[in-house]
Structure 1
Amino acid sequence: MRAAALICAGVVSAASLCTPQGRVFLSVERDLTRKIPLALSVAGDDRDAMGRLAGVIRQDLAFSGWFAPTVVPRQPQKFPSETEIVLAVTQAGAALEVSAYSPADTNALYSRTYPWPASDLRAAAHRIADDAVAALTGRPGIACTRIAFTMKQETLRIGVVDYDGYGETTVAAPPGDCLSPSWFFGKDALVFVCAQGGASSVMTVELRTGTLRRLYAGAAVCGRPAVNPKWPELAVPLGFSGNPDIYRLGREGKELLRLTISPVIDSSPCFSPDGERIAFVSDRSGSPQVYVMRRDGRDVRRVSFGVPHASSPAWSPDGEVLAYAVRRRGGSGIFVRNMSSGAVRELAPDEVWLEEPSWAPDSRHLVCTAVREFRRNLCVVDSFTGERRMLLPDGERFSAAWSP
């Protein structure tokens, strides 16, 4: 876990990549842009299933950003010379036995058993990959996560897709435009804005059942609702008359409390991981900038400087970094601010237009809206290396939210 405190610097110096229980597997001085060479061996009676399992695990490990995985034959005579870790997956009757070890020392770094055959092969592969990432790095995996977003059809709809772009679905929704989703206290429900006939409201949907509920209606909803990760409440930009302010709303849609009182626009709230602070956007300084306040509205301070226009703040789950979009000449980019040191840097400065960042649970990856050839679609960015991958190919999608 020690590595987590050093992530924002981009280098782990004498860092320990370890299990959550603290057992050290790798003690290295490592530039975090360098990936750990890993040999993946998958063996079992059903070669077709084992091949598909290996393909998903390999991709998950590569997408984690920590590893450079290569699939190798079971028990090869010799591993590739650069191999630092071997991950072996073996079918043993009604189970999959998974272990990791160093080629120089065959004592298991960790081992785990999973039921087999699996009802969902992809889900089983994702779980194996996430457990491997957590055991070997001390950081959470992201293979079992999903991403919600707004999609443009005849009206605006809400979509959900696996983190790797697989299994896109459209969420049940009422008539009208549905947009700006957030995950609603876990992975099983969403909260979003519904606009119809000149009125707007905050609604929730249970993803398994499609059950819809109107959480709040009473003022114009002027942006994405933010969910507090620690307290049963949301922060919502509402406009009762004129410019919107930030309000705190109870989980059941009651207990409305005004947090900002300003003649200007206050919007885009985002809670800190400890639930005690809210980042938001305000043009009280003359142009939109990012500010932070306590969850009761006190102690407001500005945190974005030297840029003409900042928007869409997103707090990393480890609390170390605040990301936000900055309008710059010819486009928009994602900037990250270390909340301890105040250091600011731009991610992927060669990308013409990135906006609306949302963090993955690993505090390493973000999903953003990328504008290319006048169309919006979703792009995943590795904040350590700057590497990017488009999440989905065709269509127009934006305003994404990564699940916990």
Structure 2
Amino acid sequence: MLSAPVRRLTALMSVATMAVALTLTPAVTTTALASAVAPSAPAAVVVAPATNGPIAFTSYRDGSGELYLTDAAGSGPTRLTSNTALDEQAAFSADGTRIAFASNRDGNSEIYVMDADGTDQTRLTVNTSADSKPEISPDGTQIVFASQRDGNSEVYLMGVDGTNQTRLTDDPGFDEQPAFSPDGTKIVFSSNRDGDGEIYLMGIDGTNLTQLTADSTFDGEPDFSPDGTHIAFASLRDDVNGRAFQIYLMDVDGANQARLTLDPSSNRLPAFSPDGTQIAFATYRHGSFEIYRMNVDGTDATRLTTNTGTNYEPDWGVALPKAAADEYETDPDTELVVAAPGVLSNDTDPEGDPLTAAVDRAPSFGTLALARDGSFRYTPEAGFTGVDTFTYAVSDGATSSFPGTVRITMAGVVDGTNGPIAFTSGRDGNSEIYRMDPDGITQTRLTSHDLTDTQPAFSPDGTQLAFVSTRDASNPELYLMDADGTSQTRLTINTSTDQQPAFSPDGERLAFVSARDGNFEIYVMDADGSNQARLTTTTAADQFPAFSPDGDRIAFMSSRDGNAEIYVMGVDGTNLTRLTTKSGIDQHPVFSPDGTQIAFASYRDGNSEIYVMGVDGANPTRLTTTPAVDQLPVFSPDGGQIAFVSSRDGNSEIYRMGADGTNPMRLTAFSASDTEPDWGAEPNRAPHALTDGYGTDEDTDLVVAAPGVLGNDTDPEADALTAAVSTEPAHGTLVLAGDGSFTYTPVAGFVGADSFTYAASDGVAVSEPATVSITVDRVNRPPTVTVSTGGTCLGDGHSARVVLSVSDPDSLPGGLSVTATSTRQALVPNSGLRVAGRGSTRWLTVATLPSASGRASVLITVNDGALRSRITVVVVAGTDRANLLTGTAGADLLLARGGEDTGDGAGGIDLLCGGNGNDRLGGGAGSDAVQGGSGLDRLIGGAGADLLHGGSEADFFSGGAGRDTNLDFRPAQGDTTDGS
């Protein structure tokens, strides 16, 4: 039985089967609609051969109906839409760049368009009724669609921007599923205006209506071949149960109709390939709808989708030129000149046509001149370092590609052994903490406060940042946060300044500077702010502490000897040693990661420059030489680079250079000050837990062995992973082991989608939760059909309408097909049986031959596509003389006709029709419908809830036991009742 995601499709099928039973509507007319404004017909489009491109389709694989793309091999499905609502009925533009589709994301089905890569989704119709099945005209200027806005489904036309919405058909029947001819001059559609679903053709203005098919069952879902000579369509004509569609092909005038699919399952929704050699379609041959393709003669059917969710409504687009990504490098302040074919060198066209290039988006940090032959000249902004990009599109003269990206890197990128750089910036109007990649790309703000946040310092593992803020007391205090800016915690509480934090190599302690005892001194404390202790005691200022890599020493600046110099001491404040003895200011000391050098800033040569020296103060070496201020150096974790602050370009910015002072590179470029860098280690990265999907049957445990959910998870450092539950399933119980194995037990009787989430851990970091989806499939149960009370005698003495109730324990009843056959054609011919209606209520019209009498059985079958159920209604027809008509214990239809007849429905839900004589009609046990007709009749309902129709003469009503309804009870004409 169809699972829940198929309900939209089965709803479409119920419309189709319902259409067969509708009352006949007026005959086909070729006159234009007087009330409609006839749209201007576009010029005929010349159809050129095209190369097969992607196939768009609707799928429930991710829970809700969304649009996807795949190729002709079925590889790499790509999701285009993402909504909790239903997105469906994708239709490519002729040039392959746009897709029209229907969506109920805004409350009801409306028409949308988007680029063929899923971007730029735009709503075109705004209506309280359903708009559906759009198709873009071959010239790309108009969209034809179906709408129920005027009471029933009609065909409409509008501009591709949603303007000038015009009705083309005007008929009480359903007109739907329109499609343009390849030259844009005609529209093919399906309609039940003649009682059955048939295929029609009309002009672009709604005139020249021509019926192409004439079958007693449903024909619909038409699609033109690219050369305009054939139409593929779906039909129920070869299924006696009226359930399984097959795909057919016919000439454009309706001639030579031939069946293409031979599989007994339903095959429908055909869509031609752009080159006209193949047809994509949806088939139910695997128990749910999947996308297939076949040759145009029906051979070589190939499956394209394999998914537990429903896949249907394919549409085939043309292949587009492809603009592939490109990467280039140049030095800062150096033009990049690339000769032809330039960006076109790795681009392709499906037909091999020559390509030209055009700019789509200009670069952000430089100027660009791009020629049609792909050559270009890029000039970076003065001083810019990092990565800039621009995008471009290629064209073969008929179609254009989606944009390709060109990435240009100035001065290269630091290797991945070093982590991010944290720094202070006033770029957003206030001093806040930021972080960036080592090449200056992806600069991210971490703090956001009205007061100042400054002086970031990474923990050794790169997971935390200590910093200084005035947010809680307007005086600087120390805080701690995670490296992403979250979990901000205050560490010190003082009325004086606490600043300049520095982590110990083991991450357990923090050195810092405080003025709490009257002047700036060096303190240490645990990383949580506890056990604060003073290390230096002088009347001068001691500042800028930095731990040695072995954690045994602290370097700092002190003016205790009359000038700002660099000192080292033990971590307990002992063994003080002065390292520099120059008259200029020496400050900002920091150890190299290998513990052999100290970098610092010094004014010894007239202005602040960056120097390095041995850890004993020997061999001081100047690294920078500019007239500006260079200061606040910090080594990269691998020791190969130094980040620092310089005003060489007008204001304070962050730079980096080799540890020997070579290859300086600017990392920030803002008019505000960027300062106080600290270079973090690449932190342990969290594992990646990926989604998983499993299935089991109703009331059946799902047991998955190790590695289970961990089988497709990864860890950047290749550490071993363990799994733990994040959220439990909603419709079952779960036992998840650390090795990823699990047992899931669904709740008894549950069918549908369930899920749980889990996280993977490498022992240090935990992944984001991943979802494990579990589909519990129903064990299919058969549908049911019963006779309900409330039938109607049609008054001609030989026909009546019986009310049927249908249901399916596994899905909505709208997808069920109901058929009826007679066991005695001489009394009740099959042509006299007709089922109408949709949903849970259907109506069976039974017409006996007027000259025949006797008894016949009508077999009523309900079918869900896999299982069926059957009941029997016994038809007893009298003659024009007096008759004794007796029903059975089941459901009966008694037709008394003329004469003074006696009818007894006996048990069951019966329909008794009196005819023209003076009849005595007794419903018997059960909820019956008794209609006297003309004549002096006695209507006796019997036990059960009965409906009694008196007719036109003086009648006697007796409801009997049960809750009865006396219809047409007219005392004025002599009707009487016993009151029961």
Whole-angstrom distance in 1 between the partners of 2:581 and 2:416: 32
Aligned to 2:677: 400
Whole-angstrom distance in 2 between the partners of 1:242 and 1:173: 31
Whole-angstrom distance in 2 between the partners of 1:177 and 1:189: 19
Letter in 2 for 1:145: G
How do 1:3-402 residues align onto structure 2 when only pairs under 5 Å count? 48=324, 51-52=326-327, 141-142=415-416, 144-152=418-426, 153-196=428-471, 197-208=473-484, 210-230=486-506, 232-328=508-604, 330-339=606-615, 342-350=618-626, 352-372=628-648, 374-395=650-671, 396-402=673-679
Whole-angstrom distance in 2 between the partners of 1:205 and 1:176: 17
Whole-angstrom distance in 1 between the partners of 2:666 and 2:651: 13
Alpha-carbon contact 1:248-1:259 (below 8 Å) kept: yes
Whole-angstrom distance in 1 between the partners of 2:627 and 2:595: 26
Distance 1:322 1:233, change over 3 A: same
Alpha-carbon contact 1:149-1:401 (below 8 Å) kept: yes
Alpha-carbon offset, residue 361 of structure 1: 1.4
Whole-angstrom distance in 1 between the partners of 2:562 and 2:446: 39
Distance 1:366 1:385, change over 3 A: closer
Letter in 1 for 2:675: F
Give the TM-score of the pair, scaled to structure 2: 0.27
Alpha-carbon offset, residue 147 of structure 1: 0.4
For the aligned residue pairs, the C-alpha RMSD in angstroms reads 2.8
Distance 1:348 1:242, change over 3 A: same
1:330-359 Cα deviation digits (max 9, x unpaired): 521011012268111100224532100011
1:369-393 Cα deviation digits (max 9, x unpaired): 1013551111112122522111122
Letter in 1 for 2:613: R
Alpha-carbon contact 1:219-1:239 (below 8 Å) kept: no
Alpha-carbon contact 2:626-2:648 (below 8 Å) kept: no
Higher relative contact order structure (alpha carbons within 8 Å, sequence separation ≥ 6): 1
Give the share of equivalent positions with the same residue, in percent: 25
Distance 1:240 1:268, change over 3 A: same
Whole-angstrom distance in 2 between the partners of 1:302 and 1:143: 34
Which of the two has higher C-alpha Rg? 2
Letter in 2 for 1:148: A
Give the TM-score of the pair, scaled to structure 1: 0.64
Letter in 2 for 1:383: A
Alpha-carbon offset, residue 200 of structure 1: 1.9
Alpha-carbon contact 1:172-1:205 (below 8 Å) kept: no
Distance 1:142 1:344, change over 3 A: farther
Whole-angstrom distance in 2 between the partners of 1:222 and 1:312: 17
1:249-275 Cα deviation digits (max 9, x unpaired): 101110111100111111100000111
Alpha-carbon offset, residue 242 of structure 1: 2.0
- 5+ residue gaps, structure 2, are 1-321, 332-344, 346-412, 682-980
Letter in 1 for 2:445: T
Distance 1:220 1:228, change over 3 A: same
Whole-angstrom distance in 1 between the partners of 2:573 and 2:674: 33
Paired residues in the alignment total 280
Alpha-carbon contact 1:143-1:163 (below 8 Å) kept: no
Alpha-carbon contact 1:235-1:249 (below 8 Å) kept: yes
Whole-angstrom distance in 1 between the partners of 2:488 and 2:496: 20
Which has more strand, going by share of residues?
1
1:127-166 Cα deviation digits (max 9, x unpaired): xx98xxxxxxxxxx55551100000132210110000010
- 5+ residue gaps, structure 1, are 1-45, 60-72, 74-128, 131-140
SS in 2 for 1:220: coil
Distance 1:270 1:219, change over 3 A: farther
SS in 1 for 2:491: strand
Alpha-carbon offset, residue 186 of structure 1: 2.0
Alpha-carbon offset, residue 185 of structure 1: 3.9
Whole-angstrom distance in 1 between the partners of 2:459 and 2:323: 40
Distance 1:210 1:352, change over 3 A: same
Alpha-carbon contact 1:150-1:399 (below 8 Å) kept: yes
